[in-house]
Amino acid sequence: MSAPDLFDLSLDRNRPLQKQLYQILIDWIVNGRLTKGTKLPSSRRLSESLNISRNTVIQVIEQLKKEGFLVSKAGKAIYVSSNLAFCTIETAENSTLSENNPEFSLPPLSDYSETIKSHPKLKSRWPTLLPFSPGVPDLKLFPFAIWNKIYRQHQDRIPISGYGDPQGYLALRERLAQHLLASRGVRCTAEQIIITNGRQEALNICAQTILNSGDTVLMENPGYGGARFAFHAKNATVNLVELNENRLDIDQVVRENKQARLIYTTATYQHPMGGVIPLQERSKLLNWAEKSKCWILEDEANGIFSFEEKPIAALQGMKKHTPVIFIGSFSRTLLPSFRLGYLIVPKSVVPSFVDIKSILSGPCNQLQQAVLADFINDGHYVRHIRRMQINYQEKWEHFCQLIHIHLEPDVKLIKSSAAMFVVIKTPGHDDTYLHEKLNQRGFGSAPLSLSDANKSKVSGLILGCANTTHLQRQQFVEYLSKLLKKQG
């Protein structure tokens, strides 16, 4: 085994060099930096690397040998002694053992961290790259050549090599405002947009900016677990509103005159059940929120890939001067690894949201933002969305046909207007067991029961069909059919 370089060993020239070297080596042996049996560099190599006299090094080594810290082996080689029972040496192994000792205890963590430590949803919230993992796009069809060409045009630009504006790259915010108006009916200026590190950070920023400890949040159930985690982190009280026809029951909210600081909804594609709030009910929700002084947090989630001729218009653009905050992300339309999302907030509160963004994470990657701005401006983004729309719809229809032929009536297919997801109910089966077995076979999924905060007995699977092939869809249905028969 070669001797370590000890490259970070440095000495103060204004203090006795021999004494410093002696103390440093003692400290490194005692605290485990130099473990038992470690070979030391030769005296010549140490003197050259430290730029000190070789005689000084030899004197220190000889003193440590006399004290039993070092020993000579195989000629002139020097090693840390293996017999150091008289001093404490913390290695990685015995350090772990000491932490497990009942007499050793670290200070406690927060109540929130203890609450979520064993939460099963956290272990599967970020999808893997398995076929049928929910929320994963078809990565093979991403236009890497076009993206990389734009990337090379920006990679040497000095102006975008710094930290940048925490609110986001201005050119991207301008392009995004134009695109969202045309595609989703979102009415905003670049000044109202805040670029975030993905959808989850956008949720965390909203929770930190809007909520106080103990505030009430209304949330559709089943719903997106990541939103619940963000609200609970602020110690908010989350009141669940059950679905009606697979969408948020607006009549229940209005009829019961529920009071809250914030209501969270995936209005244009309910996550995970896929329902769409009709126009009349969306208008009713806006009016209720204005009267109740309640913020609406509208999460776009999955509405971009819709079977409609044009994606359903967002709540945000239906009326002027409404308390709506709109959340979007590029993880499902482009690549999850980009980790770029956005918030759209009323102009008067932009500074408060930007301040929280600055504290939580600071600016997002400027280079990625600059490339994305040109990608949108040059029309590549819209063309990619159209191409994926056709691709995903064909996959969705084929997958639903297979389920209808081979799995019904053992499962119930929950159809929706969005092409990236298929939801099935599996009554009488343990969906967590099905999820684990599918994962072992190389198929992704998410148990539907984990989306239900009431922990009801609902059983089912949330499946993504965007990142699948024709053969994989056939193999999945064949294997799931065997699993259902075996468990039944």
Q: What is the pLDDT of residue 126?
A: 67
Q: Of 482, 448, 439, 381, whose CA–CA distance to 223 is shortest?
A: 448
**How far is C-alpha 406 from the geometric centre of its chain's CA atoms?**
35
Q: Of 452, 465, 456, whose CA–CA distance to 413 is shortest?
A: 465
Q: What is the pLDDT of residue 293?
A: 92
What CA–CA distance (Å, rounded) separates 288 from 119?
34
Secondary structure letter of residue 418 according to DSSP:
B
Reading across the β-sheet that carries 421-425, which strands appear in turn?
412-414, 421-425, 460-464, 446-447
**Rg, Å, the chain Cα set:** 30
Residue ranges of the chain whose pLDDT lies below 50: 89-97, 123-124
Q: What is the Cβ-side half-sphere exposure of residue 468, based on CA atoms within 13 angstroms?
A: 33
Alpha-helical regions (H) of 267-379: 279-292, 350-360, 366-377
Read off the tokens for 390. 């056709």
Contact between residue 199 and residue 341 where contact means Cβ atoms under 8 Å apart: yes
Contact between residue 305 and residue 135 where contact means Cβ atoms under 8 Å apart: no
Q: What is the pLDDT of residue 104?
A: 62
Q: What is the pLDDT of residue 92?
A: 43
What CATH code is assigned to 1-106?
A: 1.10.10.10
Using a CB cutoff of 8 Å and minimum separation of 24, what contacts does 16-23 make? 17/52, 17/56, 18/56, 18/59, 18/60, 21/50, 21/52, 21/56, 21/57, 21/60, 22/60, 22/63, 22/64
What CA–CA distance (Å, rounded) separates 459 from 89?
53
Angle at 176 between CA 282 and CA 392, to 5 degrees: 70
Three-class SS of residue 144? helix
For residue 63, list its beta bridge partners.
none
- What confidence tens digit (pLDDT) does each residue in 267-285 have? 888 888 888 888 889 999 9
Secondary structure letter of residue 347 according to DSSP:
G
Read off the tokens for 247. 């969408």
Residue with tokens 């190599």: 45
Q: What is the pLDDT of residue 91?
A: 46
Residue boundaries of the structural domains of the chain:
1-106, 142-378, 383-487
Query: CATH fold of 142-378, please?
Result: Aspartate Aminotransferase; domain 2 (3.40.640)
Q: Of 336, 321, 237, 322, whose CA–CA distance to 285 is shortest?
A: 322
Read off the tokens for 148. 């990389």
Q: What is the pLDDT of residue 86?
A: 52
Three-class SS of residue 230? helix
In order, the DSSP letters of 300-328 are -TTTTSBSSSSPPPPGGGTSSS--EEEEE
**Which CATH architecture fits 383-487?**
Alpha-Beta Complex (3.90)
The helices-and-strands tally (H runs, E runs) of the chain is: 16, 14
Contact between residue 320 and residue 303 where contact means Cβ atoms under 8 Å apart: no
What CA–CA distance (Å, rounded) separates 341 from 338?
9
Q: What is the pLDDT of residue 308?
A: 56
What CA–CA distance (Å, rounded) separates 480 from 485?
9
| Residues 6 or more apart whose Cβ sits within 8 Å of residue 112 | 232, 233, 235
Three-class SS of residue 78? strand
